[in-house]
Amino acid sequence: MPHLRVGARHWPVSAGDGLLDALIQAGISIPYSCRAGSCHACLVRCTRGEALDAQPEALAAERRQQGWRLACQCRVVEDLDLEVFDPLHDGLPAQVVAADWLGAQVLRLRLQAERPQRYRAGQHQVLWTESGVARPYSLASLPGCDDFLEFHIDCRLPGAFCDVARNLRAGDRLRLGELRGGALHYDPDWQARPLLLLAAGTGLGPLWGVLRQALHEGHQGPIHILHLAHEAAGHYLADELARLSGEHAALHVRLVTPPALREALGELRLLARQAVALACGSPDSVETFAKSLYLAGVPRNRVLTDMFLGSRPAGI
């Protein structure tokens, strides 16, 4: 029977047990969210022994060489000595430079990291509060243009991170955890193609960065952005999108609520066959977007999707 050791604690577990569950059952404080290898909140470092990893490609080679693993993707097959990710030691300090509300439900959080980060529009970053709450969020900022990291946080419902975020003020401190890929990005090879950006709720955040990158790089084809919200007040970047569409004739913005979604998606089908499409939001919304694109004839390799998983509510 293999044994786990974390600091001064060690205990036996059954061979084949999931590492994350074994840690939780033993009372080890470890954050987690998606259990799918996407959020990267459950990072642990193996200092002795090796776990059976179901998704080794989820971490960069450099991180794996340092011994880091995602606990939710690992099973215990031999004795392991572990260190749980410690934001005070392993995280990057960051300061809140602005925390303002985009409507009643979406908090725009802007952070200044202690040292510059290399990232691209659409990636994810794990944010840690000083109290040890971790949650991954998509970056809405554009590297090279913004001198801050921007995140759009859906505060419609209670949540451990949201409850802290609502009270953040300029000057407060957070820690930055794992920065990772995500499916959403802009490729200059797409410049002549129609670009379809489909977002639900704060799925607009990463697409806001991708949109600005496409415009910054002089995208030549038409760009259509569709934002789905529960109600009209949920179109939290309406003014900013209107300003951009006024400056760029090729940019077309459609803001919809659920009753108008089918019609709006139907209007995109004329462009779809030559288009590249990016979709982001809850699983239900992204599935709806992807199904419509498939029926319109968009090849699967030209549909990039990113779903908000874990503790986010179903729906938009």
The conformational region for residue 122 under phi > 0 = left, psi -120 to 50 = alpha, else beta, is left
pLDDT in tens, 137-154: 999 999 999 999 999 999
Q: What is the pLDDT of residue 316?
A: 56
Q: Of the candidates 305, 257, 299, which has an alpha carbon nearest to the alpha carbon of residue 279?
A: 305
Q: Which fold has domain 3-85?
A: Ubiquitin-like (UB roll) (3.10.20)
Q: What is the pLDDT of residue 181?
A: 74
Q: Which fold has domain 91-180?
A: Elongation Factor Tu (Ef-tu); domain 3 (2.40.30)
The residues of the chain that CATH labels 3.10.20.30 are 3-85
Q: What is the pLDDT of residue 38?
A: 78
Q: pTM for this structure? A: 0.87
Q: What is the pLDDT of residue 310?
A: 53
Burial class of 88 by CB neighbour count within 10 A (0 to 12, 13 to 18, 19+):
exposed
Q: Which fold has domain 188-307?
A: Rossmann fold (3.40.50)
The residues of the chain that CATH labels 3.40.50.80 are 188-307
| Residue ranges of the chain with per-residue pLDDT less than 70 | 309-316
Q: What is the pLDDT of residue 272?
A: 76
Beta strands in the chain (DSSP E): 3-6, 9-12, 43-48, 52-53, 68-70, 74-75, 80-84, 92-102, 106-113, 124-128, 134-138, 149-154, 173-180, 195-200, 223-228, 251-256, 276-281, 303-307
Q: What is the pLDDT of residue 315?
A: 40
Average confidence score pLDDT of the chain: 92
The residues of the chain that CATH labels 2.40.30.10 are 91-180
